[in-house]
Amino acid sequence: MGSSLNFSGEFFFRNLYTITKDAILRYPEMSFVGVVTRIKNVVGANPTKSQLFVLFLVLCNINGSSSAEEDTFRFYNSSRLGEILEKGELRVAGDSASEPFYVVNAKEGYPGFDYELGKAYADFLGVKYRFVPYQEFSEFADAIKNEEADIALSGISSNLERSKKVRFSKAYLIATPAALVRKSALPPPPEGNIITTQNFKSILDLADVSGVTFAVRSFSNRHEYLLKKFKNSRIFTYGDTLSAWEAVKSGTANCLVADSFYIKGLLLKDKSIASNFRPLLELVQREDISAAFPRGDLVFIRNFEFFLEELGRSGTLRELEDKYFNKSNWVPIERP
C-alpha cells in the first residue's frame, strides 16, 4: 500500500530555522516555535544555522552544566525513540480490518487514515515504517509492552482503564458515540404529514423511542455509554463492531452503536445503507482518538505530539480527515 503523504525528517523545519531532530528529541519539553521566536529576537531575522543551534542550547538552560547534560542524555537514552532511531524502523500496531483507518485491498494512494499517519511519522523520524497487525486493544498494549510494536494507531479511543496499560498521546481525532438505526424502528410521521416533526440527529434522540434494540462491541466506550444512558433497553454485545453490524443487518437488533468515524466509513463504503438506516452522528460525548505509547516514555510521546501539532497547524491533518471520512475515493473497487 502506498501513502500519498510524503514527509522527510526535516519537513517541518523551514530554511535557515533548521534545528536538528536530535535537539528536538533531547529537549522535548521546549516549544520549538517559542524557542525559534526567541532566537530570532536575539540574533535578528536571518540567523545562521550554527547561531540557531548554540542559542537553542542556551535558551534550554544548558549553560555548560555537565550534570544537567548527563541527566538529559540519560532521559533520552531510556526512551524507546532512541532504539527506533538506532534500528531505523518504526513498528506500528493496528487492526487492518478497521476501515478506513486501514483499508483492505486498498487503491493506490488510499491505504487508510492511520496507515498514512504512521507512515508520515516514520518519514519524519527518517526511519522505515512497518505495520504489525493485531485486532484488539489488549493485543496492542501487550505488543508495545513486549517491544513487538513501538506504537499503536488504529482508531483507538482513550479512557482511564486503558491508560493503565499504555500512555496515550493527545487526540488527533474527536469522535462520539453514534448510531445507525433502522428507519422502520423509528416512529412514523403524524398522519397527514409527509415529513416527521421529530428530528433524529444523535443517539440520545432515541431515549424515548420504544422497541429500539442495540448492537455494540462489548467493553467499548460505546457499550459503557449505552449502559449509562439506556439502562432499560435491550443491548446485544459482540466481540467486534463488524459482528455487531452483521447482527443489525440480520435483524437480531435494529440499531448499531459505534464511534462516529466507523459509521461514516460504513456509509461511504456502501451508499445504499442510507436508504434503510438513519445515521445519528451529532456529538453526545467526546471520545479522543489517540495513539498508544509505552507507559512513562515522555520523550517519545512529546516528539509525536510535536509532529501532530505541525500536522494540525499546516492543515494536513484536516485534509487527511476529509480524504477518508468525508469522501469515498478510498473505497476499494469490487472485483468480480
Domain carrying residue 110: 1-174+289-336
Kindly state whether residues 165 and 220 are assigned to the same domain: no
Taking residues 262-274, report their average pLDDT. Answer: 95
Write the secondary structure of 70-130 as one string of H (helix), E (strand) and C (coil).
HHHHHHHHCCHHHHHHHHCEEEEEECCCCCCCCCCCCCCCCCCHHHHHHHHHHHHHCCEEE
Q: Which residue type occupies 120?
A: A
Write out pLDDT tens, residues 33-80.
444 444 444 444 444 443 443 444 444 444 444 554 555 555 556 789
What percent of the chain is predicted at pLDDT more than 70? 74
| Averaged pLDDT for residues 237-259 | 96
Tell me how far apart the alpha carbons of residues 9 and 20 are, in angstroms, rounded to a whole number: 9
Model confidence pLDDT, tens digit, residues 10-23: 443 333 233 344 44
pLDDT the model gives residue 327: 96
Question: Do 12 and 47 fall within a single domain?
Answer: yes
Question: 142 and 50, same structural domain?
Answer: yes
306 and 335 part of one domain: yes
Is residue 159 domain-shared with residue 223, that is, in the same domain? no
Pair type for strands 151-152 and 173-175: unpaired
CATH of the domain at 20: 3.40.190.10
The pLDDT value recorded for residue 188 is 80
Say whether both 189 and 318 belong to one domain. Answer: no
**Quick one: cell of 56?**
537553542
Query: Is 298's pLDDT higher than 60?
Result: yes
Q: How many domains does the chain have?
A: 2
Cβ(84)–Cβ(127) below 8 Å:
yes
Do 193 and 277 lie in one domain? The reply is yes
Do 157 and 206 sit in the same domain of this protein?
A: no
Residues 16 and 150 in one domain: yes
pTM: 0.77
d(CA 233, CA 253) in angstroms, rounded, equals 11
Are 191 and 155 within one domain? no
Q: Which residues pair with 289 in a beta bridge?
A: 157, 173
Return phi, psi of residue 204, to 5°.
Answer: -65, -20
Nearest to 103 by CA among 93, 92, 114: 114
Domain boundary among 250, 266, 285: 285
Q: Which of 285, 313, 328 is the last residue of a domain?
A: 285
Q: Which of 177, 160, 268 is closest to 214 using CA atoms?
A: 177
Q: Which three cell numbers stand for residue 103?
A: 483499508
**Mean pLDDT, range 100-127, rounded to an integer:** 96
pLDDT of the residue at 35:
44
Is residue 184 located within the same domain as residue 168?
no
**Average pLDDT over all residues of the chain:** 82
On whether both 17 and 166 belong to a single domain, the answer is yes
pLDDT band (50, 70, 90) for residue 1: low
